[in-house]
């Protein structure tokens, strides 16, 4: 047992304390607290422990967890904190990441904009199916383990997701559907992916199976649609790989409808099984509005949207721009984006699939310069080549949307050396009850 003082929190939601010359990651502990810790991992490079007793509370306000499930699962790290304290800890995390770079020391970090909903906000779930057909489990791995926690009734999920999980479990038992076993490689049903439209009136369900097996999944689909009529899209996906990638390459639609329609602001988006869309539509609207406000478009500008996905931000900006080009490496996403442009009647927005750096270089040959570039990369951030090519287009401003304050700070520092000063950052809480925070950064050409 160790008695330690917690100084900060990392991106994974662990409290950080120092023991001698070594740092310890502590689950269930928050900055400013003194805690009694039981070590759970001792490695050459890292130490980890679990808070077993609170010796001194922090100024942050603790609160009872919304569900016993939160303690069993462990993947939502801030459920023990009141929401105002969650926002404070996220703001401090962003500021701390920026402070590591001299070029960012004077950047203004605005107060975190809260999520419209703190619970029941997740409209997407990617879940593991385990156990047996007699006693199936559908859930997530307990944190840092390979034990699946049954998460039927998760307070963060949209209620329709929880209804679907319960119906699928019942259908597995009734249909005697064989559950896939990673240890033996036998069985059929591996994962369950659920998406709910922004209005909560429709849902897409993807059954990920080890092989085709039409009959079992067909009957499971019929049972699900009978139990939950709001399920309008059902898909079987084949994934025979032995890794942890959820979706394979083959999709088989079991319904006539093959996509959901969601809406952010005035933009309608067709969401296919492979589409990426933010899990919190209320916070996504806030982010899109912030990008549009900082874009200061007058109807004449040339805009590039990097890592555009299915075109959400690009189409959102198109009404105020002269021309918009969206760039995305995933070809299927570009096809969805083009479909969404047609569906919204937008004709000044085009999309290209390929390497972002190379496509930016091609745009420079045609445009010479851009007026606005929006970057919305995955968690790892942007390659240096992409940032360099973006700067060569000499836009008057850039807007960087990021889900990782660590990679954001690194990339903003690189952009500072390329002539772009970060003016301010607007954190937006996309993921209440977790340590994750979305940020929108405004950069001006110096």
Chain segment 332-351, per-residue pLDDT in tens: 899 999 999 999 999 999 99
Cβ burial of 432 (10 Å; 0-12, 13-18, 19+) is buried
Tell me the DSSP string of 301-341: -EEEEES-TTTHHHHHHHTTSSEEEEEES-HHHHHHHHHHH
Q: Which candidate in 51, 349, 382, 403 is catalytic?
A: 403
Cα-based distances in Å from 331 to 351, 354, 356: 10, 8, 13
Tell which phi-psi region holds residue 279, choosing left (phi > 0), alpha (psi between -120 and 50) or beta.
Answer: alpha
376 is in an annotated binding site: yes
Query: pLDDT tens digit string along 376-389?
Result: 999 999 999 999 99
Neighbours of 257 (CB within 10 A): 12
214 is in an annotated binding site: no
First to last CA, the chain: 53
Structure token digits, residue 153: 């009734």
215 is in an annotated binding site: no
* Residue 403 appears among annotated catalytic residues: yes
307 is in an annotated binding site: yes
**Segments in the chain below pLDDT 70:** 67-72, 144
Q: Which of 176, 141, 73 is nearest to 434 (CA)?
A: 73
Contact 380/407 with Cβ under 8 angstroms?
yes
- pLDDT for residue 67: 66
Only one residue has tokens 């760039």, namely 327
Domains along the chain with CATH numbers: 1-59 (2.40.50.140), 102-116+280-445 (3.40.50.150), 124-260 (2.40.50.1070)
Structure token digits, residue 273: 């099984």
Contact 254/217 with Cβ under 8 angstroms?
yes
Note the pTM of the prediction, 2 decimals: 0.92
- pLDDT for residue 174: 96
Residues in the chain: 446
């Amino acid at each position: 047992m160790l008695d330690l003082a917690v100084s900060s929190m990392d991106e994974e939601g662990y409290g950080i304390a120092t023991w001698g010359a070594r740092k310890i990651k502590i689950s269930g502990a928050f900055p400013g607290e003194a805690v009694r810790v039981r070590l759970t991992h001792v490695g050459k490079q890292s130490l980890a422990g679990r808070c077993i007793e609170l010796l001194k509370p922090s100024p942050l306000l603790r609160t009872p967890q919304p569900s016993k499930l939160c303690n069993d699962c462990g993947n939502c790290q801030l459920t023990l904190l009141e929401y105002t304290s969650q926002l404070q800890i996220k703001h401090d995390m962003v500021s701390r990441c920026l402070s590591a770079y001299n070029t960012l020391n004077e950047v203004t970090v605005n107060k975190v904009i809260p999520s419209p909903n703190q619970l029941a906000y997740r409209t997407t779930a990617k879940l593991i199916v385990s156990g047996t057909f007699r006693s199936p489990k559908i859930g997530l791995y307990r944190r840092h383990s390979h034990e699946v926690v049954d998460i039927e009734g998760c307070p963060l999920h949209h209620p329709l997701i929880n209804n679907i999980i319960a119906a699928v479990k019942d259908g597995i038992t009734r249909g005697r559907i064989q559950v896939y076993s990673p240890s033996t490689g036998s069985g059929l049903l591996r994962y369950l992916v659920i998406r709910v439209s922004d209005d909560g009136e429709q849902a897409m369900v993807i059954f990920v199976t080890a092989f085709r097996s039409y009959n079992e999944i067909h009957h499971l689909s019929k049972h699900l649609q009978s139990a939950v009529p709001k399920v309008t899209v059902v898909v079987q996906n084949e994934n025979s790989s032995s890794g942890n990638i959820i979706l394979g390459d083959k999709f088989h639609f079991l319904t006539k409808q093959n996509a959901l329609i969601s809406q952010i602001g005035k933009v309608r988006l067709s969401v296919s099984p492979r589409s990426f869309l933010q899990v919190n539509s209320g916070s996504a609207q806030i982010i899109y509005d912030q990008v549009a406000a900082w874009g200061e478009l007058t109807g004449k500008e040339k805009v590039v949207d990097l890592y555009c996905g299915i075109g959400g931000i690009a189409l959102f900006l198109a009404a105020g721009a002269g021309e918009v080009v969206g760039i995305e490496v995933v070809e299927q996403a570009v096809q969805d984006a083009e479909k969404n442009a047609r569906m919204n009647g937008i004709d000044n927005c085009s999309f290209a699939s390929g390497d972002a750096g190379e496509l930016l270089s091609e745009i420079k040959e045609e445009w010479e310069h851009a007026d606005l570039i929006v970057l919305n990369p995955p968690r790892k951030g942007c390659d240096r080549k992409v940032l360099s090519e973006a700067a060569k287009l000499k836009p008057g401003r850039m807007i960087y949307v990021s889900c990782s304050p660590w990679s954001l700070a690194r990339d903003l520092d690189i952009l500072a050396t390329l002539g772009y000063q970060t003016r301010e950052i607007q954190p937006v809480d996309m993921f209440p009850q977790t340590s994750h925070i979305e940020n929108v950064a405004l950069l001006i050409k110096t």
